[in-house]
């Protein structure tokens, strides 16, 4: 089964997110009114407004999770019921989207709570307020989220297969952190020290926004001396 094009999926995800975020900005501005008043926005919006975005993005995350799970199965020549992998993918995508979208809406709420009173006090126009709010709804933010969450889907698809591998064979294989090994990642204090080393602290990619690292699994007997030293010192 050919692997999906991660970067095409990432671009699709970014486009969907960007469109949805812009729609949410318009919705928020309409609710705030002119002059803007924070009390016009029901608190329930911040608690549930993310659900439509989740509905739009979860299918892409599910597809990439399954794609990476299939690739991992091919690498170790095992067969896992696709219904099981599909259930794992849907459960992960639902829970993960809910978690980070709630956090994103919470961060936005905090920012808006500061900016709206400031806009009122300083006499901003709605256009001026919208410009200040753009940081929370911009295409740049959408691209950052898309890159980060595609990395997470890559990781979790492979972790799901590893869990099933252990259930089938009773063999615990070790996650090895892989980077792009380029000039950018060599400057990353989070990822570069982990490059080609075992995961020993239960931290998996993404380590930070826009992280593009990944994990591979190997049997302990195939660890290099340096990898084995770190693994045994955990």
Do 153 and 198 fall into the same domain?
Answer: no
For residue 3, what pLDDT is reported? 66
Percent of the chain predicted with pLDDT > 90: 96
Question: Angle 51-76/82-122 helices, nearest 10 degrees?
Answer: 140
For residue 4, what pLDDT is reported? 83
For residue 155, what pLDDT is reported? 98
Do 153 and 184 fall into the same domain?
Answer: no
- In a domain? residue 1: no
CB atoms within 10 A of CB 53: 21
Do 150 and 194 fall into the same domain?
Answer: no
* Parent domain of 19: 6-170
Q: What is the pLDDT of residues 47-89, one digit of tens each?
A: 999 999 999 999 999 999 999 999 999 998 899 999 999 999 9
Compute the average pLDDT of residues 12-21. Answer: 98
Average pLDDT, the chain: 95
pLDDT at 2 over 60: no
Report the SS3 class of residue 190: coil
Confidence band (pLDDT; 50, 70, 90) for 168? very high
Do 205 and 116 fall into the same domain?
Answer: no
CB atoms within 10 A of CB 66: 22
Closest listed residue to residue 59, CA positions, set 149, 139, 147, 161: 149
Of 153, 170, 187, the one marking the end of a domain is: 170
């Amino acid at each position: 089964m050919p692997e999906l094009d991660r970067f095409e999926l990432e671009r699709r995800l970014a486009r969907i997110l960007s469109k949805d975020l812009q729609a949410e900005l318009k919705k928020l501005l309409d609710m705030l009114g002119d002059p803007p008043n924070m009390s016009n926005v029901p608190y329930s919006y911040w608690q549930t407004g993310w659900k439509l975005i989740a509905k739009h993005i979860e299918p892409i995350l599910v597809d990439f999770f399954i794609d990476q799970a299939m690739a991992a199965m091919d690498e170790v020549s095992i067969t896992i019921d696709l219904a099981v992998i599909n259930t794992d993918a849907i459960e992960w995508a639902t829970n993960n989207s809910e978690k980070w979208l709630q956090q994103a809406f919470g961060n936005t709420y905090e920012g808006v709570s500061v900016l709206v009173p400031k806009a009122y006090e300083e006499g901003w126009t709605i256009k001026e307020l919208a410009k200040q709010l753009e940081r929370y709804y911009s295409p740049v933010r959408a691209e950052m989220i898309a890159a980060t969450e595609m990395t997470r889907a890559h990781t979790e698809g492979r972790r799901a297969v590893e869990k099933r591998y252990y259930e089938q064979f009773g063999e615990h294989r070790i996650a090895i952190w892989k980077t792009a090994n380029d000039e950018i990642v060599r400057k990353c204090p989070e990822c570069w020290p982990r490059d080609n080393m075992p995961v020993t602290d239960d931290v998996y990619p993404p380590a930070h926004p826009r992280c593009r690292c990944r994990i591979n699994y190997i049997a302990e007997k195939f660890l290099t001396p340096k990898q084995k030293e770190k693994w045994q010192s955990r």
